Amino acid sequence: MTAYLQASGVDVSFGGLKALNDCGFTVQQGKITCLVGPNGAGKTTIFNVITGFLRPGAGSVSFKGQTLDGWKPQAIVAAGIARTFQNLRLFVDLTAVDNVLASMPAQTGEEPVAAIFRPFHVASAQRRRREEALAILNRVGLIERANDFTRNLSYGEQKLLTIARVLATGAELILLDEPASGLSAGALDGVMALLRRLQDDGKTLLVVEHNTRVVQQIADDVLFLHQGHLMAQGTPEAIVNDPALAEIYFGGTI
Amino acid sequence: MDFWFSYIALASIYVLLGLSTNLLVGIAGIFSVSQAAVFGVGAYIVAFFLMNDTMSFLPALAIAALCCVGLNILVTLPALRVSGDYFVVTSFGIQLLATAVFTNWTDGTGGANGLPGIPPPDLAGKALESSGEVVTLCVAGMGLGCLIFWLVMRAPFGRLLRAIREDELAVAAAGKSVLRAKVSAAALAGAFAGTAGGLYATFLSFIDPSSFDLDSSILLLTMVVVGGARTLAGSILGPFLLLALPQILTLVDIPTTVAAAARQLIYGVLLIAFMLFRPQGLAGEKL
């Protein structure tokens, strides 16, 4: 059986620093897989490789049996993989619903020719898209903020909006870069419940997360990255309770 | 020609240029200081076809617009590789190059002496001789330009351009082609500038390199900054206000030799003052 997402032998170097060193793992379809490891372990770097933002020096990534090597970010999103960014990268001068609309795939009127010559067609297509965008906002719990400018949203709301934006791409494999960091306890529970709901809807999630409580609650599978290499893969219990990994993760104080 | 007619026709032409500059600089974030060069190419092409009686006005205008689409894509291509401040330098070089060609290619452009005696525009075989007809044509051109700008900005294309100006990487992560959107914006801006050039050449019946030099490019930027970046209203307000300035100066009793310098000075002061104290212009959004 071919793996859903498979990385094998991925090397990435920044100058003399090996950010990823023979990094390999698999992600199973329909599961929430958490990617953990100390700072600088290469978690965000592997996201950049999977989504085509960074070309690895060696190794390859395949999705549903198809290699993604050399693909542009655009083609990878079209294949069904989308990501969020740790620093959000929202369009803060656009409204929440426009952020979602801007992330929806190929739309009529996204180039000037149709916009100029078929204005009524474009407008009616946009009305339908807007309904879909509002439904996505509703799903992440931001429907009341749909027409507010993104810069006026709270940090927690902005994090939810990044999730709404990846949902808008229609991707089936969603890579989330620290969706729970910096959130209050209440907001944290909301995000965890949302991730569970996405899983129930058939999405596969690969999540970079630091908070061990979150990992234990949502992860089906945990990947432990250290110095750009996969140290261990297993259930949350097995990973969290492994004293050797805790030593690496917490710097030997435990 | 009556002062009001001339003012309205010229302002209409500059609104088209304002739309072009606003689209490129304000909305797509490609900071070009060579829009006057593209404007000039449009003007010279239409002048060439009409003076040699090759074809009538509308086809000549269409060819000029198309050439400027291609040219503008070509000159903004470096913006897709080098970003922000570096592109300004590249664009500055393109403008200087264009001025050098306009001034020295005497066979094609008449050199520094310019091209006099460009025939008036004609529609359906009839030459538009009266100033009223020419003004109507210019205003119609402006109206069409404004309509196109409005349609494009309210469509998903407008939203995509705004998103790109905010965060290109995030747009790429959403699976969009940043390159294609920027090239489309450059194409549209080129069509606007080329059309404005054709109207300008036939309206004045005389063109020379001084209308298409660096000062003119800066004037276009000043119009966008004063009027307001990224909005239709700003693109209309800027040209109408700044073109009124020379006329207002004629009311003040100063020698004509000083007037030209005074005008440049006022443009410069306006540009700096607006950048400092009201970056959103009179009717725009923050640049």
For residue B286, pLDDT over 70 is answered with: no
Core vs surface per residue B201-226: b (16+ CB within 10 A) or e: bbbbeebbbebbbbebbbbbbbbbbb
Residue A115 lies in a domain: no
Contact B169 A53 (CB under 8 A): yes
For residue B280, pLDDT over 60 is answered with: yes
When scoring A71, A72, A74 by the number of chain B Cβ atoms within 10 A, the one with the most, hence best to mutate, is A74
Domain housing A221: 5-80+171-250
DSSP sequence for A191-230: HHHHHHHHHHTT-EEEEE---HHHHHHH-SEEEEEETTEE
Find, in chain B, the residue whose alpha carbon is nearest to that of A169: B174
* Chain A residues touching residue B26 (CB < 8 angstroms): none
| Distance of alpha carbon B108 from alpha carbon B8, whole angstroms | 30
Cα distances (Å, whole numbers) of residue B186 to A16, A170, B22, B23, B221? 40, 30, 11, 8, 16
| Distance of alpha carbon A246 from alpha carbon B115, whole angstroms | 81
Q: Over chain B, what is the mean pLDDT?
A: 91
Give the number of other Cβ atoms within 10 Å of residue B100's Cβ: 11
B180 to chain A, any CB pair closer than 8 A? The answer is yes
**E strand or H helix that includes residue B148:** helix B131-154
Residue A158 lies in a domain: no
Q: Provide residues of A within 8 Å CB-CB of chain B.
A: 51, 53, 73-74, 76-78, 82-83, 85, 89-94, 98, 101-103, 105, 107-112, 114-116, 119, 122-123, 126, 129, 165, 168-169
Q: By C-alpha distance, which of B167, B153, B41, B132 is closest to B94?
A: B41
Domains of chain B, by residue range, sit at 3-211
For residue A254, pLDDT over 50 is answered with: no
DSSP sequence for B209-258: GGGGSHHHHHHHHHHHHHH-BT-HHHHHHHHHHHHHHHHHHHHS---HHH
Residue A97 lies in a domain: no
| Count of the separate structural domains present in chain A | 1
Find, in chain A, the residue whose alpha carbon is nearest to that of B187: A112
Of the partner residues A74, A94, A107, the one whose CB lies closest to the CB of residue B156: A107
**E strand or H helix that includes residue B131:** helix B131-154
Residue A105 lies in a domain: no
Which CATH number do you get for residue A76? 3.40.50.300
Q: What is the pLDDT of residue B83?
A: 65
Which residues in chain B (199-228) have CB-CB distances under 8 A to chain A?
none
Query: Cα distance from A189 to chain B (closest Cα, Å)?
Result: 26
| Distance of alpha carbon B129 from alpha carbon B24, whole angstroms | 34
Q: What is the pLDDT of residue B125?
A: 82
Find, in chain B, the residue whose alpha carbon is nearest to that of A112: B152
Residue A144 lies in a domain: no
Task: Give the count of alpha carbons within 13 A of B33, CB side only.
Answer: 18
| Distance of alpha carbon A8 from alpha carbon A59, whole angstroms | 6
Q: By C-alpha distance, which of B165, B147, B170 is closest to B31?
A: B165
* Chain A residues touching residue B285 (CB < 8 angstroms): 93
Contact B180 A103 (CB under 8 A): no
Q: What is the pTM of this model?
A: 0.90
Classify residue A38 by its DSSP letter.
S
B178 to chain A, any CB pair closer than 8 A? The answer is no
Q: By C-alpha distance, which of B23, B11, B12, B25 is closest to B221?
A: B25
Grouping H, G, I as helix, E, B as strand and the rest as coil, residue B115 is strand
Of the partner residues B156, B162, B185, the one whose CB lies closest to the CB of residue A93: B162
Contact B157 A109 (CB under 8 A): yes
Query: Cα distance from A253 to chain B (closest Cα, Å)?
Result: 38
* Chain B residues touching residue A136 (CB < 8 angstroms): none
Helix locations, A89-201, DSSP H: 96-102, 112-117, 119-140, 155-168, 185-200
How many inter-chain contacts (A to B, CB under 8 Å) are there?
99
* Chain B residues touching residue A158 (CB < 8 angstroms): none
B28 to chain A, any CB pair closer than 8 A? The answer is no
The pLDDT tens digits of the residues spanning A118-147 come to 999 999 999 999 999 999 999 999 999 999
Contact B160 A83 (CB under 8 A): no
Residue A210 lies in a domain: yes
Residue A108 lies in a domain: no
The pLDDT tens digits of the residues spanning B212-245 come to 999 999 999 999 999 998 899 999 999 999 999 8
* Chain A residues touching residue B173 (CB < 8 angstroms): 51, 53, 73, 77, 82-83, 85, 89
Which residues in chain B (66-105) have CB-CB distances under 8 A to chain A?
none
The answer for residues whose C-beta is within 8 angstroms of residue B119's C-beta and 6 or more apart is: B50, B51, B127, B202, B205
Average pLDDT over residues B55-74: 96
| Distance of alpha carbon A176 from alpha carbon A191, whole angstroms | 11
Core vs surface per residue A208-247: b (16+ CB within 10 A) or e: bbbbbebbeebbebbbbbbbbbbbbbeebeebbebeebbe
Q: Residues, chain B, total?
A: 287
pLDDT over 90, % of chain B = 67
Confidence of residue B69 (pLDDT cuts 50, 70, 90): very high
For residue B276, pLDDT over 80 is answered with: yes
Q: What is the pLDDT of residue A92?
A: 94
CB B237 within 8 Å of CB B280: no
Query: Cα distance from B6 to chain A (closest Cα, Å)?
Result: 30
| Distance of alpha carbon B150 from alpha carbon B160, whole angstroms | 15
The pLDDT tens digits of the residues spanning B16-59 come to 999 999 999 888 888 889 999 999 999 999 999 999 989 999 99
* Chain A residues touching residue B24 (CB < 8 angstroms): none
DSSP sequence for B63-80: HHHHHHHHHHHHHHGGGG
* Chain B residues touching residue A122 (CB < 8 angstroms): 155-156
Contact A112 B152 (CB under 8 A): yes
Grouping H, G, I as helix, E, B as strand and the rest as coil, residue B261 is helix
Structure tokens belonging to residue A214:
């979150």
Q: What is the pLDDT of residue B4?
A: 85
Confidence of residue B1 (pLDDT cuts 50, 70, 90): low
Contact A110 B157 (CB under 8 A): yes
Residue A88 lies in a domain: no
* Chain B residues touching residue A120 (CB < 8 angstroms): none
Of the partner residues B163, B166, B176, the one whose CB lies closest to the CB of residue A74: B176
For residue B155, pLDDT over 70 is answered with: yes
Q: Over chain A, what is the mean pLDDT?
A: 93
- Helix-strand-coil split of chain A, %, nearest 5: 40, 25, 35
